[in-house]
């Protein structure tokens, strides 16, 4: 019986058959690669375009990484670009990430912007960072000076006393050093007590380990409320020293703004005048203008949602975006941002630059 064709033994390919198939296989392979290459290249290009934004933040602060994450969500939801947060160990590492291009954007307090551009303080070993650029203002920390009610009634009486200032190099520590210099204290280093946690100063005051505290807070602060309960008094910052801190030197804008500690939040008789330290979103001048513009537009379009995600952003509005904490020159992508998305393109007048938008 003759087997059907599909049951027969396969025949070996002859030389003629092999030579006939080889060119066909080669041609088919070449065609497949030719078709696949544009698709693969397109996917790679799209991936590079989507991975365009990284935001650096100091993980030792109470707000920077959380605020950076909130901004990233707004950017990703806008469809402008993918966004990732890069937590860094301290402000020097944050600025280094901008310098190296590891980060597209970063959160940086106004006094640190000034120090980085001048190459002083923590940045002395790295040299001036003249390429630093402002993008948008974000939030203001209020500096609260407190002391035990029975011993101190005004900040100038803190001379020679023990003052807890939170983590070394933190915003409260930096402000306390500026305050000590303004009051002319001869040996402030021996007075300023640092602690590893931001909440440490209030505990030191309540336990008697310190005579006073300087804290950088976002209102309302549970830590300040706790210190008030253990006989702490909030001291008003007024007079020549406070005025100088806010007004700044004649040749350099002050990083500080006027602020108020509300009495209704902390069971005080009167509101206490104080000083605030703004934090802004910054970039290197090498950051693409189109990327910066997309980020600004995403923030401006998502203000209502951003106000709800973190207390630092609760007061965020278009005036803060365009006027607060902008110590470094503005990035070229700021002026290209849509006018209906934010007001960061307009230069504020000199007096407005020293006042947070929510305080006017």
The pLDDT tens digits of the residues spanning 41-58 come to: 444 344 444 447 999 999
For residue 354, pLDDT over 80 is answered with: no
| pLDDT band, very low/low/confident/very high, at 80 (cuts 50, 70, 90) | low
pLDDT tens per residue, range 196-206: 665 566 788 88
Provide φ and ψ at 277, rounded to 5°: -120, 110
The structural architecture, per CATH, of the domain 49-140+279-359 is 3-Layer(aba) Sandwich (3.40)
Cis before 238 (ω within 30): no
CB neighbourhood size of 208 (10 A): 10
The pLDDT, as a whole number, for residue 337 is: 64
Per domain, the residue ranges of the chain are 49-140+279-359, 142-276
H or E stretch at 257: strand 257-261
Residues 6+ apart with CB under 8 A from 136: 280, 281, 296, 299, 321, 322, 334, 342, 344
Q: Which residues contact 79 (CB under 8 A, 6 or more apart)?
A: none
Q: Which of 279, 240, 289, 237 is nearest to 258 (CA)?
A: 237
| Percent over 90 (pLDDT), the chain | 29
Structure pTM?
A: 0.77
- Count helices and strands in the chain by DSSP H and E runs: 15, 10
Q: Which two tokens stand for residue 226?
A: 């706790």
Domains 49-140+279-359 and 142-276 share a fold: yes
- Is the pLDDT at 82 greater than 90? The verdict is no
Q: What pLDDT does residue 330 have?
A: 92
Angle at 224 between CA 308 and CA 310, to 5 degrees: 15
So what CATH class is 142-276? alpha beta
Q: Which pLDDT score is estimated for 359?
A: 31
Confidence class for position 284, pLDDT limits 50, 70, 90 = very high
Tell me what percent of the residues of the chain surpass a pLDDT of 70.
75
First to last CA, the chain: 104
- Reported as a single tens digit per residue, the pLDDT across 197-230 is 655 667 888 888 888 888 898 888 888 888 888 8
Q: How far apart are CA 214 and CA 200, in angstroms?
A: 11
Residue 2, Cβ neighbours under 10 Å: how many?
6
* 210 Cβ contact partners less than 8 Å away, ≥ 6 residues apart: 162, 163, 164, 193, 201, 204
């Amino acid at each position: 019986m003759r087997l059907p064709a599909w049951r027969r033994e396969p025949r070996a390919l002859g030389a003629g058959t092999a030579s006939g198939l080889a060119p066909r296989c080669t041609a088919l392979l070449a065609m497949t690669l030719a078709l696949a290459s544009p698709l693969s290249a397109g996917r790679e290009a799209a991936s590079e375009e989507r991975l365009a934004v990284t935001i650096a933040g100091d993980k030792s602060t109470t707000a920077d990484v959380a605020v950076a994450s909130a901004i990233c969500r707004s950017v990703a939801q806008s469809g402008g670009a993918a966004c990732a947060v890069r937590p860094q160990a301290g402000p020097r590492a944050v600025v280094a990430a901008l310098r190296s291009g590891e980060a597209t954007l970063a959160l940086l307090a106004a006094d640190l912007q000034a120090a980085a551009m001048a190459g002083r303080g923590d940045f002395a070993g790295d040299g001036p960072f003249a390429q630093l650029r402002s993008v948008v203002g974000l939030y203001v920390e209020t500096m609260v000076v407190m002391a035990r009610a029975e011993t101190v009634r005004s900040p100038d009486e803190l001379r020679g006393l023990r003052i807890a200032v939170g983590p070394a190099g933190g915003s409260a520590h930096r402000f306390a050093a500026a305050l000590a210099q303004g009051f002319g204290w001869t040996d402030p280093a021996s007075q300023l007590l640092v602690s590893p946690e931001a909440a440490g100063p209030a505990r030191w005051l309540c336990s008697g380990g310190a005579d006073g505290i300087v804290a950088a807070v976002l209102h309302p602060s549970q830590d300040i409320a706790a210190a008030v309960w253990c006989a702490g008094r909030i001291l008003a910052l007024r007079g020549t020293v406070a005025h100088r801190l806010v007004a700044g030197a004649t040749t350099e804008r002050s990083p500080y703004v006027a602020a108020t500690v509300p009495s209704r939040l902390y069971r005080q008789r009167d509101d206490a005048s104080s000083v605030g330290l703004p934090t802004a979103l910054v970039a290197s001048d090498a950051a693409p203008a189109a990327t910066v513009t997309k980020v600004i537009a995403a923030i401006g379009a998502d203000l209502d949602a951003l106000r709800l995600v973190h207390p630092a952003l609760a007061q965020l509005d278009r005036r803060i975006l365009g006027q607060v904490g902008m110590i470094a020159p503005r990035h070229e992508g700021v002026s290209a941002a849509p006018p209906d998305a934010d007001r960061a393109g307009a230069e504020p007048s000199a007096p407005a630059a020293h006042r947070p938008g929510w305080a006017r």
